[in-house]
Amino acid sequence: MADKKIRVLVAKPGLDGHDRGAKVVARHLRDQGFEVIYMGLRQKPDHIAAVADQEDVDVVGLSVLSGAHLPLTRKVKAALDGCGLTDVKLIIGGTIPKADEPGLKAAGADAVFPTGSRLEAIADYIRGLR
């Protein structure tokens, strides 16, 4: 990964219809030099995994504001694993109570960025994956 740009897929799984935050994060990551693929709203876990595989991404970032972050994380992680993408890092952001962070990590999230997290913290975490 040292010579190539880190590729990040940003997706909004489930029925949540608000994507302003996801777009802000995607734009910031792009401006920081990452290659960013933004999938948009209402994506199914299997489709997220298929696009992650097609695009050869290093990181999948989920944005969830609906409160369904635990089951969606489990489903996306299972879909990634089903495609053989066990080395792809899964990060999640959105409206996430602090108490749910351990459950998200147990479900397969490598990092959790609740609403209000600094954009720089997200970029620094991803940059640190090199």
Beta-carbon contacts of residue 60 (< 8 Å; ≥ 6 apart): 8, 9, 11, 48, 52, 76, 80, 88, 89, 90, 91
Strand pairing class (35-38; 59-64)? unpaired
Of these ranges, 9-18, 65-74, 88-97, the one predicted with the greatest mean pLDDT is: 88-97
Q: Contact 75/45 with Cβ under 8 angstroms?
A: yes
CATH numbers and ranges of domains, the chain: 7-127 (3.40.50.280)
pLDDT of residue 65: 86
For residue range 89-129, what is the model confidence (pLDDT) as tens digits? 999 999 999 999 999 999 999 999 999 999 999 999 999 99
pLDDT of residue 1: 44
